[in-house]
Structure formats: C-alpha cells, structure tokens
Amino acid sequence: MSVILVVDDEVDITETYKMLLEHYGYAVVTANNGLDALGVIAETPPDLILSDCMMPVMDGVELSNRVRAIPALAKVPIVLMSGAPEFHNLKKSSHDVFLSKPLYFERLLAEIKRLLATG
C-alpha cells in the first residue's frame, strides 16, 4: 500500500483528500505546513507528497526543495498545487507536477497513479 503525505494548512482540505485517497486504497498521513511535514516524513517516509504551495511556517516550494536534499527521498514524487496565479510558473522548486486549484479529483488521482507507477 502506497503512503501519500498530504500537506495543506486548510484542515478541511487535508481531511477531504485523506478520505478520498483512503477510499482508493492509499495510506494517508497529513501535515499542516512544510515544517510539520518534515516531522511526519521522519516517522513515515511517503511514496508521494501532495502539497499546497502557500502555507505558513514553510511553504510547499521550500518543502519540495528540502525533501529533494534528503538522499533517501530524492526520488519521491512531489505534486504541488495552488490557486494563486503566481505559482503557475515555479522555477525554484524541484516538484514533479503542478496542479491548479480547484482540483478535479479524477485528474489528481490520475497523476498520483502515473507518478507512483513510474517512480
């Protein structure tokens, strides 16, 4: 069973994704910001990270760059998402996929399946 880490400062969003992804057979862990995510990663290394871009304490861009700097996690697929237009052309992030909010769950699920299959 693949483990997905969902990172978002909106608790309703993390809980919704958790419920939907668990329904499709994934194990899901959550965090409210990038710094909390690093703590979760230390305890439960994920197979894929799904993170919002804009969060307090540590945003998704910094989180993705820090994860890539950890040799054991350097190849973990990272999906960043945001509804803010300024994040559509991320240049200083080492993520694999960027998705605009609002997300269609079917598209998100397809990207997750594709990334886990090629990872």
Confidence (pLDDT) at 104: 86
H helix or E strand, kind and range, residue 41: helix 34-43
- CA–CA distance, 48 with 28 (Å, rounded to integer): 10
Confidence (pLDDT) at 40: 97
Is 88 part of a structural domain of the chain?
A: yes
Mean residue pLDDT across the chain: 89
Side chain identity, residue 69: A
Radius of gyration of the chain (CA): 13
Q: Are 67 and 95 in contact (CB under 8 A)?
A: no
Is 105 part of a structural domain of the chain?
A: no
Is 109 part of a structural domain of the chain?
A: no
Is 118 part of a structural domain of the chain?
A: no
Query: Domain of 91?
Result: 1-22+32-44+53-73+81-99
Residue 102 preceded by cis peptide, ω within 30: yes
pTM over 0.85: yes
Is 15 part of a structural domain of the chain?
A: yes
Structural domains counted in the chain? 1
Average pLDDT over residues 19-36: 96
Is 119 part of a structural domain of the chain?
A: no
Residue/partner pairs of 109-115 with CB below 8 Å, 24 or more apart: 109/24, 111/79, 112/4, 112/21, 112/26, 112/48, 112/50, 112/79, 115/48, 115/77, 115/79
Is 111 part of a structural domain of the chain?
A: no
Is 62 part of a structural domain of the chain?
A: yes
